[in-house]
Amino acid sequence: MNKYVKEFLHRGLVFGGFGPIIVGIVYLILSYALNDFSLSGSEVFLGIISIYILAFVHAGSSVFHQIEHWSLMKALFCQLGTLYAAYAICYLINSWIPFEFTVLAIFTAIFVIGYLLIWGIVYLCVRNTSKKLSEKLV
């Protein structure tokens, strides 16, 4: 198996954690035993499992920046696409956003702008820090 796929899976498992899955199973069992939940056990279970998968993909997607022969842009856009797909699917499956073109377009715009803004800030901070370190070395 490709070393980057292994690293993606490892990071996802380490940072995703199994706690949400265990809580989901407990809530699923309790919902069948007790009838005073405002959410059904399957809704809670779906929410927890989908959030776990989201955390797994989020943590694992950082591996794109470790692929040395990839450009920064290729790594950024692969991570962007992976995260967008995970977030959109999670939000749609849980009915946190409706499956409507306008809503998805707004969600997409906000997601892409937020992602690029965050990475732009990170890039500038790293560049400035590197510049200061280079000046101290010279």
∠ at Cα 89 (83, 91), nearest 5°? Answer: 100
The tally of domains found in the chain comes to 2
72 and 32 together in one domain: yes
Write down the pLDDT at residue 17: 66
The mean pLDDT values, 10 residues at a time, for the chain of 138 residues are 81 70 70 71 83 86 89 92 94 90 94 92 90 86
By the 8 A CB rule, do 107 and 90 touch? Answer: no
Give the C-alpha separation, 77 to 112, whole Å.
10
107 and 88 together in one domain: no
Residue whose entry in the numeric block shows the structure tokens 């797909």:
85
Domain, as residue range, for 112: 99-138
Give the C-alpha separation, 70 to 39, whole Å.
45
Nearest to 25 by CA among 39, 46, 50: 46
Write down the pLDDT at residue 19: 62
